A = this chain, B = another copy of it.
Amino acid sequence: MTTAFETLERTETRTGVKTMKATVFHGVNDIRVDEVPRPRAGVGEAVIRVTLTTICGTDVHILRGEYPVRPGLIIGHEPVGVIEELGPGLTGYKVGDRVLVGAITPCGQCLACLSGHQAQCGHGNGYEALGGWRFGNTIHGSQAEYLLVPNAQANMAKIPDELTDQQVVLLADIASTGFSGAESGQVKIGDSVVVFAQGPIGLCATAGAKLMGAALIIGVDVDDYRLAMARKMGADVVLDPRKVDVVEEIKKLTGGGVDVAIEALGTQQTFENCLRSLRPGGTLSSLGVYSGKLQMPYDAFAAGLGDHRIITTLCPGGKERMRRLIETVRRGRVDLTPPLTHTFPLDRIKEAYDLFAQRRDGVLKVAIRP
């Protein structure tokens, strides 16, 4: 789909423009830091100079060819930066403002956005599945010195001076997604919650469940380091499937099943264990990205008669979401710096990808400084 704001081609074919360094996908297992044209802001757009960004698990899928994007695309989708240029039609911003931009950049003006389904943004018109995720997917992303922000009016949240880039960069995707696991699960004061898998998103789901008042939070993973981090982020109990029958243990701890089970990995096994961990009437809040055919054994969800809810959520975006999350960090409700284990300069991003893809050195999340 082409929209008024798809300026990718235009930017690339412009001559005489200034250039910048950017992480470009050339093909499977082939990303390079190239010198490419710097973007310019069109109507409703802005350009930010990126001061901090990250590598996400999705980027690794892209690199491996498991999630297809077109060659030539700059990847990355968690940007913090400083406004460099403002296109026509923007109000309330000025060059030099330091901003956080969500991984999901809703237009705010299509049927999906106006219905509150901003992650399924139709870019001015109807609904488009995953349409809100554009950075490093359908338009150039943030692993670069500069980033063109579409629908910038709806997507740039100012960062208070008192917060560092490191404190807020994970809000763009990881934390917004992780928290949404608890939010879509409608966690209530006194709930019992299990979070399957304690990678960056699962850890933030754990933090989200704690933020929302869950009484008992159970973290599940097979990695000791992540289980320790889970405790730090809010888990009361951690379970390792290598050591115990997790579902049985959960039933014991809760007297029959959790109110909310959050899936944060995207596998048949974790999904099914989530289902089996629920009490009748419980909610499975799913954050994972699945492939193939997901199976729901009928006994695991009471043959369809257990009043269960299964909710899937893509990262909530937009500047109001970012603003709220920034406030949550600012007031000390949550500290997202522990999962940000490593930082690399943009020049050495290939090393960073290696480290991250191979999960070396207890890596959870890698920051990239352009």
Contacts and interface: CB of A to CB of B under 8 A. Distances in A.
B92 A257 contact: no
Contact of A108 (B107, B120, B212, B287): B107
Q: How large is the interface on A (under 10, 10 to 19, 20 to 34, 35 or more residues)?
A: 35 or more
B320 A130 contact: no
The residue in A119, A294, A301, A325 that gathers the most chain B C-beta atoms within 10 A of its C-beta is A294
Chain A contact surface mostly: loop
Given A89-B43, A91-B3, A298-B293, A213 B215 contact: no
B281 A120 contact: yes
A129 B304 contact: no
A292 B91 CA distance: 36
A302 interface: yes
B314 A289 contact: no
Contacts of A328: 189-190, 213, 215
Contact of A189 (B108, B131, B324): B324
Interface stretch (A71-79, A140-148, A220-228, A305-313): A305-313
A307 B296 contact: no
The list of the 3 closest CB pairs from A to B, nearest first, reads: A190-B324, A108-B108, A120-B280
Q: How often does this chain occur in the complex, in copies?
A: 4
B293 A296 contact: yes
A309 B310 CA distance: 6
A277 interface: no
Given A43-B88, A126-B256, A215-B333, 14 more contacts: A4-B89, A5-B89, A91-B125, A107-B153, A108-B108, A127-B279, A128-B280, A130-B302, A211-B212, A213-B213, A287-B304, A293-B298, A308-B312, A309-B312
The residue in A120, A279, A280, A287 that gathers the most chain B C-beta atoms within 10 A of its C-beta is A280
A249 B90 CA distance: 30
